Amino acid sequence: MIAIFASLLFSVFPVRGSVIRSLDSVLVVDRDTVRVNVDHCLCMCPDGKYEISLSTDSSRRIQPFPGTRYPSGRVEIAGSGGKLLGTDASGMFPICSTWVSISPENVRRFLLHGSSGDWAVWADSIHWETRWPSTVVFTARWRWSRIDTAVPWVRWVDTVRLASGVAPVGLPVLTTLDSVALGHLGPVSQMPHLGLILRDSADTATPVDWGFRDAVLPVPAGEIPPGWTFRVLDAFNPGGGAVQWEFTADGKVADRIWMVGQATSEVDAPTLLGPVRSGNSGYEPTTGRRIRLERPLPIGKHLLNGPEGTRLIVVE
């Protein structure tokens, strides 16, 4: 049974924001309702699939996100199932082996053609847990943002907050809607002690950096295609306070964002030149946990996406 998700009742609906709720839900964006279709098998070992129907007809409500491919024609978010291994000692309760499938983050987003405007909607991270005896419960962090046709991207946040002296590594800032030549990204005041580095394709061998650090401006070469998401790799402001940043695209200032709080850098400056060495293992600085990689990555810090969201790892 689909539960009421969160009606997000505001006198004026926010232009962008996020909420964490159970996935078997109803999502209300402004005055428009998005239902997650839940296909459950009430078997001894339950399984289920969570998805949203798409349409390529521009008059319809749920439309594909530019640059995103949906293999099934639907926004596939997550799924789970189980295999019966036997029963417990009483013979009444099944013992199941459970599997979980979470779709890549870029497949979990779409455009909503609503009654009051167009919105970008994204289940940017999924968490799951197994409850006795074998039911899998999913939780999603939904993000939404009003589409502004004056800029070639959708921006997910209004402010980069340096909370408790720590940069919000992994925070999604924007996703491109059109092909765009990115230019200057820097503080309006051009103070050299400030820093904000965004990174896309963080879990590949060829990450793309965009930002400002120590008066150096790493700018992506060529045009960036639609569907690329840039996340915070590093952000710092030793003096604290509020700083406004400008985003330049196609030769002009296209957008601005605020950074507030105080923090010093905890991530090494991006390596722009020199040979690339790779490793198959590393560790997670926040927990000290060792990690074995499925494929080699360049030595250094990376953002990896997983079932519990984005995390920072150091490859050795």
DSSP-derived secondary structure letter, 108: G
Q: Which of 100, 115, 146 is the last residue of a domain?
A: 146
Q: Is residue 136's pLDDT more than 50?
A: yes
How many folded domains does the chain comprise?
Answer: 3
The string of DSSP codes covering 213-231 is ETTB-----SEEPTT-EEE
Residues 100 and 46 in one domain: yes
Write out the residue range of the structural domain in which residue 119 sits. Answer: 16-146
Residues 209 and 253 in one domain: yes
Residues 241 and 309 in one domain: no
Residues 139 and 194 in one domain: no
Residues 164 and 52 in one domain: no
Determine the 3-state secondary structure of 78 from DSSP: strand
CB of 198 closer than 8 Å to CB of 298: no
Q: 35 in a domain, yes or no?
A: yes
Q: 71 in a domain, yes or no?
A: yes
Q: 30 in a domain, yes or no?
A: yes
Task: Please state, rounded to an integer, the average pLDDT across all residues of the chain.
Answer: 80
Query: What stretches of 75-213 show up as alpha helix (H) in DSSP?
Result: none
Q: Which of 118, 146, 174 is the last residue of a domain?
A: 146
What pLDDT does 190 receive?
67
Across the strands, what pairs with 313?
A: 302
Q: Which of 146, 172, 188 is the last residue of a domain?
A: 146
What pLDDT does 205 receive?
62
Residues 26 and 139 in one domain: yes
Q: 125 in a domain, yes or no?
A: yes
Question: How does pLDDT run across 109-120, given as a tens digit for each residue?
Answer: 999 988 778 999
Residues 234 and 296 in one domain: no
Band (pLDDT 50/70/90 cuts) for residue 94 is confident
CA 200 to chain centre: 11
Band (pLDDT 50/70/90 cuts) for residue 273 is very low
What pLDDT does 35 receive?
81
The string of DSSP codes covering 264-276 is ---SPPP--SS--
Question: How does pLDDT run across 18-54, given as a tens digit for each residue?
Answer: 999 888 888 888 888 888 877 766 677 767 788 888 8
Q: Is residue 203's pLDDT more than 90?
A: no
